[in-house]
Amino acid sequence: MNETTKGIVYASIIGLAVIVVSWRLFFSGGEAALPQRSADELRAVVEQAPSQPNVQSSSSSSSAVASEGGYRPASSGGSSDDSFVRDERIDAIGQLGQLRDKKSVPVLLQAMEDPDPVIRGKAAVAVGKIMKADFYFRAEDPPKRRAEILQLIRTEWERFRAAGFQ
């Protein structure tokens, strides 16, 4: 097979893959064709215990490194189970934000205290979507600043609930 024929075959395969993916997205309403979960199921996923730094002997690598003001994943090693749970929590938080599920705000506020900055940030975005406000919570901010903003958000949430927002 000459180079021109190989190029045509590869382009055809790529074109077919694009058509299949586009077709699936079109019929799924623009969302990836993933199983849909109820808000209750999503909240249960978010409530799973956050991964703690894996404290092992010095000869083995840990899955996370605690640092001042937060948590950062280690560059290598770690459990794939921890990674799966983390990814599941991140996806569930995003879906709760898209659903704008008001019953999820307390769970999301708790997630905003997670040691993982990605989970904190996703939870803040979800709360912002639900409450239709940006409270300027930044996952990378120092713990004291995050605590102050989180208290402000909790106060505002209680005010919304008292006004019948839920």
The whole-angstrom separation of Cα 74 and Cα 54 is: 10
Please answer whether residues 76 and 107 qualify as being in contact, where contact means their C-beta atoms are separated by less than 8 angstroms. no
Give the global pTM: 0.62
Return the amino acid letter for 162: A
Please answer whether residues 65 and 72 qualify as being in contact, where contact means their C-beta atoms are separated by less than 8 angstroms. yes
| Residues 7-47 pLDDT 10s | 787 778 887 777 876 666 665 554 454 557 888 889 998 98
CATH superfamily to which 35-48+86-162 belongs: Leucine-rich Repeat Variant (1.25.10.10)
Q: Which residues pair with 44 in a beta bridge?
A: none
Given a cut of 70, the residues of the chain with pLDDT beneath it are: 21-35, 49-80, 165-166
- Domain boundaries defined on the chain: 35-48+86-162
